[in-house]
Chain A
């Protein structure tokens, strides 16, 4: 049978970074094919080359046996390729039917009669594939799951026979997730070929016909779920090679030999339930505590509640229920200003959104949270001289590459911006630090620096909560480790019990009753 898609030796570079290093991928008619890999493995990039969003630097793409060179998604759509992005591309105030014809080149006027025909066609498609949608409904009234069906329906309306879904379950509730895959199965049975990108092992094993695993821009292998196991997939995903373990080898001896702390916890949360931005539950009954001188890593892949946890811990998001305590006192209802004063620090996961203010200078950014406090002046006057002195010192101590303290923070590279954030946070009197994705997007040298700083802070007696999607980071830094999956803490290990494969498995959602502890609440510290 002719292959729906055949991609050969696809290479894609972004500057000096090679995102895809000669990847082969093929898709058969009527199959559901899972594309599996860690963050940054190149899954989305590969599919974007197929969808015409990114031209590959090398390699060939054939659709139905004919070689193609897509210059834009329009070209790909014309050949029957449709893509549903992780973040939906819908106009909330328009109806389903209006969204379906968005971007179509027709006459200058959109006639009611034409739209009626579109609605009819959409209703027909929806009925045929069991997508169950009202073409006249306005998108803002729809749930996330329904919006996703609108995207699928729109792709079908545009004639897609090859459907790419990028992280389809990332924003769905578990119930919606359960409903999605049977519908995809119906589609496939009707002859469509489906690729879905994911890092959830559970979805892959239950629903894929074939699985292709990518790691760091290379294809590790393609196999059937029946030939494989969650364990093997996890191993393939994360690899046995240890990328950065050597970097902190020196530090490891310090962190590794540390005895489990017996002091009272600095920060603890109990039974936290919180909603995400869309109002769907993001955290369910999360409990843990962290003591002075230890790093508690909360590992997890994207879309499982880490950002919400970060926000709840720092008072940026109010939980629906549960309790946050700092040094024994309840701080659940307090804001970041209060928590800063109590000695909580945050290295935010999005450093440009929360960490630095681009329009202000490096010197100003280094004391953002301390203006008006001695020695940086009083409420009546800022002491610019002290601020400059502090900046000079921190720039030196944290090796921030700048032309001077007056350089605007917006011109710093990612690594330097992160050094700035760390310098500010760690130069305060702290009891506890929440570090969220502290090395995301950094190069090896910067990663090493951040890890050293965190380890040093821990050794000074700080309690550190490390939220990370990076397995290497978790394995290198954690004194204890939990995994967050779909909003719940699903496992807990001490440093000695840490095992790459088991952590990887748990991050992918595979159930492993042998280690899965209900939650850490039961742990007495």
Chain B
């Protein structure tokens, strides 16, 4: 090996070690955030070790608990995958929450009103409606950015409120459950409800979420589309010069990430709430942003991050009940985690 080759190797080490460093950085960030979380628990007057134990027990101690973690993880994985792809192309879709609600609304309307007796067909149509509605809601943002350069962060964020208000209106007025005084929309037809796995009480949307992970990984790593997304994210000018049509790409990424958020919304209606219910999302569209970033915009990473956060959130409720530690502390841990991850990222890159 010549000297110049040797120095070149030093400057650009082989890919595996880059990946290894990224994994080490993530693991270090997890550890540090758990330590900081522990400190917060101490400040709140609890014992961190027993608190974490009750968190794990609560989340994974019973089949039902495991099921709840999975139910929570399903929308996070599905939305997180779409966001990871969009973020790779520097399309910052902050509107997944609204796209989820539009998807939920469309799929709920189909599941409530469409007179189709055959369950699988009805479910299929309801899911399709959800995907299309979420994608359409996302496309508004994409078209605005592609044609007039309107910042997608702002439009997608604001459209969240519009979507949630439309959803709430429909639940309160046209599709309110008969005789229900509060915010309860009508129940879906029984044929439209997603079957659940026996002991875990998880709807079969789980399999859809799991199937999407390798699919997304393949699209990101192996297809020209995934490659162009990365080109766009790294250097939009060079991508354009190399013949990438950035406008179409932006719209495409908004369609995909919006469609996946809509899919998550549909599954929440058909598999969890089984009625039009404003409580179908605990801010999943926003949490999924954290999931995508924690997962380093990588499909398997998104799966792991979604499970991690679902575990924290699900077990955290048990922990706060048993240990008397405020639930808010549990919710702070992913936030702390993101901060550490960004720091670790920076360090990993400079060494």
Contacts and interface: CB of A to CB of B under 8 A. Distances in A.
A336 B247 CA distance: 13
Interface residues of A, number: 35
A129 B225 CA distance: 59
A524 interface: no
Given A402-B8, A407-B12, A337 B244 contact: yes
B247 to A, nearest CB: 9
A433 to B, nearest CB: 14
B222 A403 contact: no
A382 B229 CA distance: 14
B17 interface: no
Interface stretch (B56-64, B143-151, B233-241): B233-241
Nearest to B228: A371
Contacts of B243: 336-337, 340-341, 369
B227 A371 contact: yes
B224 A408 contact: no
A380 B223 contact: yes
Given A403-B8, A411-B11, A346 B241 contact: yes
A87 interface: no
Interface in A212-267: none
Interface in A342-376: 346, 348, 353-360, 364, 368-369, 371-372
A382 B224 contact: yes
Contacts of B228: 371
Interface in B1-54: 4-5, 8-9, 11-12, 14-15
Contacts of B222: 381-382
B327 to A, nearest CB: 40
Would you call the interface of chain B mostly helix, strand, loop, or mixed? Answer: helix
B233 to A, nearest CB: 9
A355 B8 contact: no
B77 to A, nearest CB: 24
Given A353-B237, A357-B231, A380-B223, A406 B4 contact: no
A354 B241 contact: yes
B245 interface: yes
A314 interface: yes
A401 B8 CA distance: 9
B9 A403 contact: yes
Contacts of B227: 364, 371, 382
B56 to A, nearest CB: 38
A89 interface: no
A377 interface: yes
Name which of B228, B231, B239, B241 has the most chain A CB atoms within 10 A of its CB.
B241
Contacts of A407: 8, 12
B8 A411 contact: yes
B186 interface: no
Contact of A379 (B5, B225, B239, B245): B225
Interface residues of B, number: 27
B12 A408 contact: yes
Contacts of B275: none
Contacts of A408: 12
B230 interface: yes
Given A336-B240, A348-B241, A372-B224, A359 B15 contact: no
Contact of B231 (A316, A348, A368, A377): A368
A355 B245 contact: no
Contacts of A497: none
Interface in B125-143: none
Nearest to B231: A357
B224 A379 contact: yes
A399 to B, nearest CB: 13
A411 B12 CA distance: 7
A359 B297 CA distance: 15
Contacts of A369: 242-243
A358 B234 contact: yes
Interface in B264-279: none
Contacts of B11: 411
Interface string A447-491: 000000000000000000000000000000000000000000000
Interface string B181-225: 000000000000000000000000000000000000000001111
Contacts of B8: 401-403, 407, 411
Contacts of B224: 371-372, 377-379, 382
A359 B240 CA distance: 16
Interface string A399-421: 00111001110010000000000
Contacts of B231: 357, 360, 368
Given A360-B230, A360-B231, A403-B5, A382 B223 contact: yes
B173 to A, nearest CB: 45
A378 B240 CA distance: 20
A58 interface: no
A378 B241 CA distance: 21
B148 to A, nearest CB: 15
Name which of B15, B224, B237, B242 has the most chain A CB atoms within 10 A of its CB.
B242
Given A372-B223, A406-B15, 6 more contacts: A335-B240, A354-B238, A371-B224, A379-B223, A382-B222, A411-B12
7 contacts: A337-B244, A354-B238, A371-B224, A380-B223, A401-B4, A406-B12, A408-B12
Interface of B: 4-5, 8-9, 11-12, 14-15, 222-225, 227-228, 230-231, 234-235, 237-245
List of 8 A-B pairs having minimum Cβ-Cβ separation, nearest first = A372-B224, A337-B243, A403-B8, A368-B242, A369-B242, A371-B224, A359-B234, A354-B241
